[in-house]
A and B are shown apart, each in its own frame.
Chain A
């Protein structure tokens, strides 16, 4: 990543420095989207993209800034969703405790973050390539456990009727309010990550990614930094998980099933692991494909069920041709446009 300091003058709105110009444009468009799109698109495509984007952002923080590819993010989110269902209200009154929202939401975030941190402590003491294996195995254990356990997690059935509390008299699950809710959360997560990347913690994390031995010889505890990165990422994943459960109005073991866990990695990689906007791009592509894939496939004369095949092939294409994801593609294309426009300048120097 390019240089992170110098320090800012006091008073300036520091957070907004790291955001590339196109993102401002997108942001404006998103604010006005309800005027342009219908309810289905708002709820099912954008809402879902923001949520998946947040969880994938959590993965990007660990993989892009920390150099650790972790598959536990979706599980952390699902756990937060489960805690909300168990401590709050749901369609399973024999388990749900019916506590108020200002109790169960913070507790859900806390418990999910603790879980993520714990997984971090298990995963960071080995080389990077182990991290995928270890986090995948733990995610699987969680899935099987929630499926088998009926006393707390209600097993196969899970919890239904898990909806957001009606704060300020608004039904937050209606398309337009939900759209703004998820947009707000996604924006806050994005800003938090942009901010974090330029703090001493974020700087040190990137140092740990690039040369852990050197960081150790500068006085940093590499293990502590990595574990705290898991904590930071887990907070974001937890928020995403709660929103996801509200969107589906249910949480079941399959919310964090292995295909779902892997999909988050696919989303993050396809979008691009180098910049925080990448995961959201990947999530949008995924959501659109997911909703419209059967139509697309039928148009090509194939069975509408082969969605996964399309995803898999698309993912392979990205990994083969543009490991930086869609963002990487775009940046390379932009660089090529700039180079060729330099070439065409009258009397100008040839591009180097």
Chain B
């Protein structure tokens, strides 16, 4: 929160602009639209759907990117196998849900299994390459190639869809007005229940992470380590344990995100690349090693993608790219990244 105060005092104009945008957006979402606005921008229901899809997609991106940003911020390891861990978690989660019939059970199982893979990688591989950042990254590339092919071999090239449990399927009504019906009554938006559930879960997880990072001893160490590696070495804590914990956690999160992605969308070869790229962009935009940054970046990118998809489908990629390029040009370390 201190950073936000800092930012707002130092850049009053930008803060004002952002405030105006936020208020404007809030009005667009909450207030019923007058007919002229509907003429210009299409139906409010479409807009609301785009916004909500953007935010829920952002929740998914946050789940994937949070592990990536912590690993990079703390260990300076660009883990290009992160997407493979996502997909692996998704496939395993699919298997667990199919076999046991319990969707929720997939989460802890996947967290443990994929987390164990992460633990193994950090302990057996990356620990021996301490300080050789490029080499570590090259290794992650090799691992991603190998994992991708193994997964293709084992699960084949078809799409898998993780079915959401009965108690989460179907639509729910949100307290958002989508239109006014002919007799003057407000019509409320209905939206898939599972997506809202994931949004809530991601928010809870995000808050828990942020809380842990700012209050717990381990968390404070991690944040200090992200800012300055030497502090960590000097603190007397066995850094290797911290690294192991962070990498395993990041891998576990990616795996769980795979289950979510498999529920929202689907799992197939190529999704690993897609979510790796999403993590990259989220972290470039939001800032390295920053959980709030990952959240901010994820929401921005999720919204940009969905709004672009709905209103300018051929150019949605360009939006994302322009956002990324703008951040790189004006704040090269990301919106909430530390200036080294």
Contact = CB atoms under 8 A, between A and B. Distances in A.
Interface of A: 69, 122-123, 125-130, 132-134, 136-138, 140-141, 144-145, 148-151, 258-259, 262, 265-266, 269, 303, 306, 308-309, 311-313, 315-316, 319-320, 323
B203 interface: no
B143 A316 contact: yes
B153 to A, nearest CB: 7
Interface of B: 72, 76, 78, 80, 133-135, 137-139, 141-146, 148-150, 152-153, 273, 277, 280-281, 283-284, 288, 313-318, 320-321, 324-325, 328-329, 332-333, 340
A141 B320 contact: yes
Contacts of A259: 273
Give the interface SS of chain A, mostly helix, strand, loop or mixed: helix
A145 B283 contact: no
A309 B149 contact: yes
B337 to A, nearest CB: 10
A129 B78 CA distance: 7
Question: What are the 7 closest A-B residue pairs judged by CB atoms, nearest first?
Answer: A312-B145, A316-B142, A312-B146, A141-B321, A308-B149, A309-B149, A144-B317
A150 B313 CA distance: 12
Q: Most chain-A Cβ atoms within 10 A of its Cβ — which of B137, B313, B317, B324?
A: B317
B314 A133 contact: no
A137 B142 contact: no
Given A132-B137, A141-B317, A141-B320, 18 more contacts: A122-B325, A125-B328, A126-B332, A130-B284, A132-B78, A137-B281, A138-B324, A141-B318, A148-B314, A258-B273, A262-B141, A262-B145, A312-B148, A313-B142, A313-B146, A316-B139, A316-B146, A323-B138
16 contacts: A123-B328, A125-B328, A128-B133, A128-B134, A129-B133, A132-B80, A134-B284, A137-B280, A138-B321, A141-B317, A141-B320, A265-B141, A311-B145, A315-B145, A316-B143, A323-B138
Contacts of A140: 273, 277, 280
Contacts, number: 110
Contact of B76 (A129, A309, A320): A129
B78 A133 contact: yes
Given A266-B141, A309-B146, A311-B145, A133 B284 contact: yes
A315 B280 contact: no
A269 B138 contact: yes
A69 B340 contact: no
Nearest to A303: B153
A205 to B, nearest CB: 18
Given A141-B321, A150-B314, A323-B135, A312 B284 contact: no
A308 B324 contact: no
A308 B321 contact: no
Nearest to A118: B325
Contacts of A149: 314-315
Nearest to A150: B314
B317 A137 contact: no
B332 A315 contact: no
A319 B136 CA distance: 9
A337 B146 CA distance: 34
A174 B332 CA distance: 48
A308 B148 contact: yes
Contacts of B273: 140, 258-259
Given A312-B142, A315-B142, A133 B283 contact: yes
B57 to A, nearest CB: 15
Contacts of B280: 133, 136-137, 140
A311 B146 CA distance: 8
Q: Most chain-A Cβ atoms within 10 A of its Cβ — which of B152, B318, B332?
A: B332
Contacts of B316: 148
A346 to B, nearest CB: 42
Contacts of B288: 130
Contact of B142 (A123, A127, A145, A319): A319
Contacts of A309: 145-146, 149-150, 153
Contacts of A148: 313-317
Nearest to B322: A141
B139 A306 contact: no
A141 B148 contact: no
Nearest to A302: B153
B178 to A, nearest CB: 29
